[in-house]
């Protein structure tokens, strides 16, 4: 299993969606590893703060949420909380195919540097029932 770097993932998304353009200036954190059992629910909580104006959740090459706009068609994924301190998504009934790197990208207003102030990375590991 390869852990795609968030830089690559954001660049891939960027070919179709480019508020993330100034990606070179981003500050990338180490991935937090989150292990869940298949069939469970998981909450991915991204810490944010007041001066953040643009937020997005990404998975592989797709955007799950851009701000409060839901881009994914997956009904199991919802925005649980979005305020000045957290930007949190919830995935119900996790499947093995949900495994991988989830990114929370936080941006400051136009004109402020760096444009992307933080990318939080969450590596979701899904354990199949058969392992129990």
Annotate 67-126 with three-state secondary structure. Answer: CCEECCCCCCEEEEEECCCEEEEEECCCCHHHCEEEEEEEECCCCCCCCEEEEEEEEEEE
User: How far apart are the C-alpha atoms of 84 and 10, rounded to whole Å?
Assistant: 23
- Our measurement of the distance from residue 66's CA atom to the centroid of its chain's CA atoms, rounded to an integer in Å, reads 10
Residue placing its CB nearer to ligand NAG in the complex, 31 or 79: 31
Least Å distance, CB 53 to ligand NAG, is: 15
Given the rule CB under 6 A, which residues bind ligand NAG? 30-33, 40-41, 81, 83-86, 92, 123
Cα–Cα distance between 113 and 109 in angstroms, integer?
9
Query: Which is closer to ligand NAG, CB of 55 or CB of 115?
Result: 55
Smallest gap from residue 17 Cβ to ligand NAG (A): 26
Based on CB atoms, which residue is closest to ligand NAG, 115 or 121? 121
Q: How far is the CB of 66 from ligand NAG (least distance, A)?
A: 19
Closest approach of ligand NAG to the CB of residue 25, in Å: 23
Q: Please say which residue, 7 or 18, places its beta carbon nearer to ligand NAG.
A: 7
Query: How far is CA 116 from each of CA 8, 21, 32, 124, rounded to the nearest angstrom?
Result: 15, 9, 19, 23
């Amino acid at each position: 299993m390869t852990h795609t770097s968030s830089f690559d993932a954001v660049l891939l998304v960027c070919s179709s969606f480019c508020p993330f353009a100034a990606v070179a200036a981003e500050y990338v954190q180490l991935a937090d590893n989150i292990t869940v059992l298949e069939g469970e629910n998981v909450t991915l909580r991204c810490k944010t703060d007041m001066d953040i104006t643009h937020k997005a959740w990404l998975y592989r090459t797709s955007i799950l949420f851009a701000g409060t706009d839901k881009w994914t068609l997956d009904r199991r994924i919802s925005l649980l909380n979005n305020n000045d301190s957290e930007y949190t998504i919830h995935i119900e009934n996790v499947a093995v195919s949900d495994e991988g790197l989830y990114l929370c990208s936080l941006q400051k207003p136009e004109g402020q540097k760096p444009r992307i102030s933080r990318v939080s990375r969450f590596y979701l590991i899904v354990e199949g029932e058969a392992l129990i």
